Amino acid sequence: MNPRDHDSHLQVRLAQPDDIFDIAGLLRDLAGHGLGWAWRPARIEDAIRDAETDVIVATDPGGALHGVGMMSLGEENGHLQLLAVRADCAGQGIGRRLVEWLEACARAAGMARITLEARESNHDGICFYRHLGYAKVGSVMGYYGGQETAIRLRKVLRSEAMA
């Protein structure tokens, strides 16, 4: 099967309370490379219920979870808090679809820019975000549990002249 064919059968939608344990399981399985499991069910439930946070999922026609994205929305800035795709689904366009969906929400909400952090050691992730138009704007030492530096990236959605 062509990855694009698989991608076209996925549904991207807002997460629902019924998704909480599937999301928590995915994030537990991908958890932080030694940093622990930060996104437990109660925290995910809080995010889903938060009016200023969009939590979305990518599911197949059978309802199986393939990926999740989460973005908080402020007055002018969106912050991509997390993006996770099942390891066996990598390279199939799921991450791109999740980011594009969240970017569309941010644009509709009038956000000027989106920021995110990625592990300095996550070269593939940083390359992925750069391919989607994100640029490095700084770094934060010890961001990940005091152990690893984060690379801060930003994408401008509208110019200040349009504000």
Q: How far is CA 157 from CA 24, 43, 72, 106, 130, in A?
A: 30, 28, 15, 8, 14
Fold for the domain defined by 3-162: Aminopeptidase (3.40.630)
Asked if residue 65 has pLDDT above 50, the reply is yes
Spans of all domains in the chain? 3-162
Taking alpha carbons only, the member of 108, 128, 104, 105 closest to residue 116 is: 128
Query: 6-49: per-residue pLDDT in tens?
Result: 456 899 999 999 999 999 999 888 765 555 567 889 999 999 99
What are the Cα distances from residue 1, in Å, to 4, 5, 8, 89, 92? 8, 7, 12, 13, 11
End-to-end CA distance of the chain: 45
